[in-house]
């Protein structure tokens, strides 16, 4: 009998009425013949409340106790869903991360899953019992302490459980009905995608799309876990909910997509991220070791650097421009000011009001001129490009934030995504 993992986020389990609705979704799959494991998040707003209590108790709290507190939200949800399923006549029990166990490293607050033994859960679902698992949490094996996986960690929990169980697929239920070509709030003509390749989804998630946590997509790609994004707010009994092809977006291997269409579309989607800041260091000596002197201290300060552009050397000097998360902007400047003697730059400049807009698609591998079309179209709208980076399947540009919506709409139409 095929196994299925279902994951429900905070808005899907926001109150008892929605938890009962989730139970009906689960019951539908059980009645369809699946052995089911369910991964749940905390009820909407609960994690923020728990985090707030930790900060109020002590500004410099113990990260291990923080995990013990914030992991409790998922424990409540898993128990309530198990009760709701039992009330509907579906055998179910709740599981915490440490009971399975989901073993992680000891990076409390942002732990990474190291191993899941699927034997215990496998035996549970084989018996016909729905395993309702508290997402977002695991256990550090050596210390036996509860760990949490960071924001959006329930997505990662679900994919990891699906891999451990050898599930047919992992269904991620959210408050949207799939992955769109871009944010429908910015482009009303944005379309829901029937399928998207792991690589494309990974780029979209890391470049601004908020549908899935980046680590969950990485895990799905490594273990080839077919992942299906669908809405939990649709009536569980609606006819379209019985068919993967009509009820959401399937994230799968590129070969599966190619097998289902004559030729892949050049561009799949447009992502954008407003939480970027630009940093530029001027008149840096163009010699070996300078890049290490710039980016080494930033790495030590755990500041993620994204787009990096270095100008052609002139008179033995160059300029280096890069982006960091806007939340780290002031910290990045402070780190670079501290490293000025080692780097030897003439000036340090920065800008907060910038946006990174990205064009993504596996079809770009085999088509020339994709970037040129974008640059021409943006120039026609009077949009100046501050920085550009590319890979095989994406082009990212940095622009002034005031032009975000215009740029996204322009590119969405340019690549035929409106229809």
> What is the C-alpha separation between 405 and 260, in angstroms, rounded?
32
Q: Report whether 7 belongs to an annotated binding site.
A: yes
Is there a binding annotation on residue 185? yes
153 a known binding residue?
no
- The answer to whether residues 221 and 251 touch, using CB atoms and an 8 Å cutoff, is no
DSSP assignment of 154-210, as one string? HHHHHHHHHHHHT-SEEEEEESSSS-BSS-TTT-TT--B-SEEEHHHHHHHHHTT--
151 annotated among ligand-binding-site residues: no
Q: Is 10 annotated as contributing to ligand binding?
A: yes
Tokens of 120: 């215990």
Find tokens 């590129």 and name the residue.
Answer: 254
Strand extents, DSSP E, 199-268: 227-231, 248-252
210 annotated binding-site participant: yes
How far, in Å, CA of 74 to CA of 333, rounded? 38
The span from the CA of 394 to the CA of 136, in Å, is: 30
345 is in an annotated binding site: no
Q: Would you say 180 is a known binding-site residue?
A: yes
Token readout for 343 is 């780097």
The set of residues, in sequence order, having a beta carbon less than 8 Å from that of 107 and lying 6+ positions away, is 147
Residue 32 CB contacts under 8 Å (≥ 6 apart), including other chains = 242
Q: Give the 3-state secondary structure of residue 12.
A: helix
- What is the number of residues in the chain? 419
8 is in an annotated binding site: yes
Is residue 274 a known part of a binding site? no
Q: Annotated binding site for substrate, which residues?
A: 47, 74
Q: Annotated binding site, which residues?
A: 7-10, 47, 74, 174-175, 180, 185, 210-211
Q: Annotated binding site for ATP, which residues?
A: 7-10, 174-175, 180, 185, 210-211
């Amino acid at each position: 009998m095929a196994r299925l993992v279902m994951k429900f986020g905070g808005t899907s389990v926001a109150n008892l009425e929605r938890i009962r609705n989730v139970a009906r979704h689960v019951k539908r799959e059980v009645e369809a013949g699946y052995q089911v494991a369910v991964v749940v998040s905390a009820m909407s707003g609960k994690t923020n409340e728990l985090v707030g209590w930790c900060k109020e108790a002590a500004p410099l709290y113990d990260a291990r106790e923080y995990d013990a507190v914030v992991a409790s939200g998922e424990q409540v949800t898993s128990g309530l869903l198990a009760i709701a399923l039992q009330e509907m006549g579906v055998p179910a029990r709740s599981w915490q991360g440490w009971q399975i166990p989901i073993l992680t490293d000891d990076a409390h607050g942002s732990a990474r899953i190291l191993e899941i033994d699927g034997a215990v859960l496998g035996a549970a679902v084989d018996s016909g019992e729905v395993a309702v698992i508290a997402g977002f949490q695991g256990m550090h094996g050596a210390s036996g302490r509860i760990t949490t996986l960071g924001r959006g960690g329930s997505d990662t929990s679900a994919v990891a459980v699906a891999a451990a169980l050898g599930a047919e697929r992992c269904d991620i239920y959210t408050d949207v009905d799939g992955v769109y070509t871009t944010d429908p709030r910015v482009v009303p003509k944005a379309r829901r995608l029937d399928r998207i390749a792991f690589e494309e989804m990974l780029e979209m998630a890391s470049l601004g799309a908020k549908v899935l946590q980046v680590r969950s997509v990485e895990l799905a790609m490594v273990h080839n876990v077919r992942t299906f994004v669908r809405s939990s707010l649709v009536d569980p009994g609606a006819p379209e909910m019985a068919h993967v092809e009509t009820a959401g977006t399937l994230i799968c291997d590129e070969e599966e997509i190619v097998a289902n269409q004559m030729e892949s579309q050049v561009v799949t989607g447009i992502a954008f991220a407003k939480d970027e800041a630009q940093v530029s260091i001027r008149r840096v000596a163009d010699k070996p070791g300078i890049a290490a002197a710039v980016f080494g201290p930033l790495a030590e300060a755990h500041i993620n650097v994204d787009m990096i552009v270095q100008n052609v050397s002139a008179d033995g000097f160059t300029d280096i421009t890069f982006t960091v998360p806007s939340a780290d902007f002031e910290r990045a400047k402070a780190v670079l000011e501290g490293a000025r003697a080692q780097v030897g730059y003439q000036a340090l400049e920065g800008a907060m009001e910038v946006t990174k807009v990205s064009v993504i698609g596996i079809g770009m591998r085999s088509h020339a001129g994709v970037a040129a079309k974008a640059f021409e179209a943006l120039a026609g709208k009077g949009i100046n490009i501050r920085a550009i980076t590319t890979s095989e399947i994406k082009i990212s540009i940095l622009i002034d934030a005031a032009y975000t919506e215009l740029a996204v709409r322009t590119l969405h139409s340019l690549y035929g995504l409106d229809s």
